[in-house]
Amino acid sequence: MSAGIYQVTITDNNGCTAIRSGEVTQPDSIYFEFLSTQPSCYNTYTGSVSVNNLTGGTAPYNYLWSNTLTSPTISNIKSGNYWLKVTDSKGCNRTKSTYLDQPSDISVSHSENKPTCPESKDGSIGLTVSGGIPGYTYFWTGPDIVNATNKDQINLGLGTYTVTVTDANSCTKEYEVILTSANPTPTAGLTSSDPDNSICPGDAVIFTASGGTTYEFFLNGLSVQGPGTAYAYSNSSLVNGDKVFAEVTSAAGCKAITDTI
C-alpha cells in the first residue's frame, strides 16, 4: 500500500453504515552525499570516501561499498569509481556512485648540452617539470654537482646525473640523465725514427705524432716544442734515459697524451 488518505465504509445487515478515513504515511526517501579526500600522489592508496548528510529512510542503516566494505567510510583507496548502497531498517535502499580523482603524475623531461670533450666540464642540463602539485624542489646527485638543489645544472662533465623532484604534496619522481661527450678523445700516436731506441751520441732522432691538428712535445716532462701544427720533433742531443711524449689536440679541442718513448 502506498502513502495516501484511505476511506473505508462499513455496512451491517440492517443497512446501517459507518465511514472512517485514515492516512498512510511513509518515510522520506534515503538521501546522502559523498565527502571525498583524493589521494595525495598519483597512483597511491591514500584517498578516502565517506557518507555525508545521510537523511530519509528509517535508521539504523547498513552500508555496502563496491569494494565490499561495510563501514560509512572507506580509507586507503586509490583513484577510481566507487559506488555505495545504503539500506535502512525497513529494507529500503539507495545506490549512488562517485569518482575519486587524483593529481596527475609528475612529468620530467630535459634539454642538455654535452661536454665538448671527455675531459671537459662545460656540459649542462635544463629540466622541464609538470604534473603533481606545483611547488617543486630538486635534489641532484652526480660527479660534478655543486649546488644539488638547483633546478638546472651547469659546468658538468660526462657521467650519470640523477635528480629527485618533489612536489608540494611531497610526491617524488626520480629522473636520470646520462651525459656523453660531443667529441671523442683523439687517438694519439707517437713514433720514432729509431724504433729500437738504440742511437749513437749526436745522432738525430725524429719523433712523429699523429691523431690531432695541433701537437706539443715534451722531453723529460718539460715542453720543448709547440703547441702548434708541427707534428714532428727532432733532437740530436738525447742521452740515455731521456723520455719523450706528445700532447695531441683535435680540431674540437679534445686532448690526449701519447705513450712515452
What is the phi/psi pair of residue 133, to 5°?
-115, 110
Residues 6 or more apart in contact with residue 82 via CB below 8 angstroms: 49, 65, 66, 67, 74, 97, 98, 99, 100
Which one-letter DSSP state was computed for residue 122?
A: -
Cα–Cα distance for residue pair 165/140, rounded to 1 Å: 9
CA 63, chain centre distance (Å): 40
Model confidence at 15, pLDDT cuts 50, 70, 90, reads confident
pLDDT band at 198 (very low <50, low <70, confident <90, very high): low
* pLDDT for the residue numbered 1: 62
Q: Supply the DSSP symbol for 258.
A: P
Tell me the C-alpha distance between 106 and 45, whole Å: 17
In DSSP terms, 61 is beta-bridged to none
Res 197 pLDDT > 70: no
CA distance 79 to 43: 7
* Gap between the terminal Cα atoms of the chain: 113
Q: Which domains does the chain have, with CATH numbers?
A: 34-100 (2.60.40), 107-179 (2.60.40.1080), 189-257 (2.60.40)
Nearest to 67, CA basis, from 84, 79, 54, 51: 84
Judged against a pLDDT cut of 80, whether residue 200 lies above it is answered with: no
Contact criterion met (CB below 8 Å) for 219 and 190: no
Average pLDDT, the chain: 93
One-letter amino acid identity for 225?
A: Q
pLDDT tens-digit series, residues 210-242 = 999 999 999 999 999 999 999 999 999 888 888
**Residues 74 and 49 sit within 8 Å (Cβ to Cβ):** yes
- Say which residues have a Cβ less than 8 Å from residue 204's Cβ, sequence separation at least 6: 193, 234, 235, 236
The grid cell for 170 is 611531497
Q: Following CA atoms 41, 45, 51, 52 in sequence, which dihedral angle do they give, to the nearest 10 degrees? A: -20
Residues 1 and 22: their CA atoms lie apart, in Å, by 13
- Between residues 239 and 35, which one has the greater pLDDT? 35
In this predicted structure, what is the pLDDT of residue 5? 80
Give residue-wise pLDDT tens across range 92-132.
999 999 999 999 999 999 999 999 999 999 999 999 999 99
Higher pLDDT, residue 196 or 19: 19
Q: Is 159 exposed, middle or buried (CB count within 10 Å of its CB: 0-12, 13-18, 19+)?
A: middle
Listed range (2-11, 93-102, 211-220, 247-256) with the worst mean pLDDT: 2-11
Q: What torsion do the CA atoms of 9, 12, 16, 19 make, to the nearest 10 degrees?
A: -20
Assess whether pLDDT exceeds 70 at residue 24.
no
Residue-level pLDDT at 114: 97
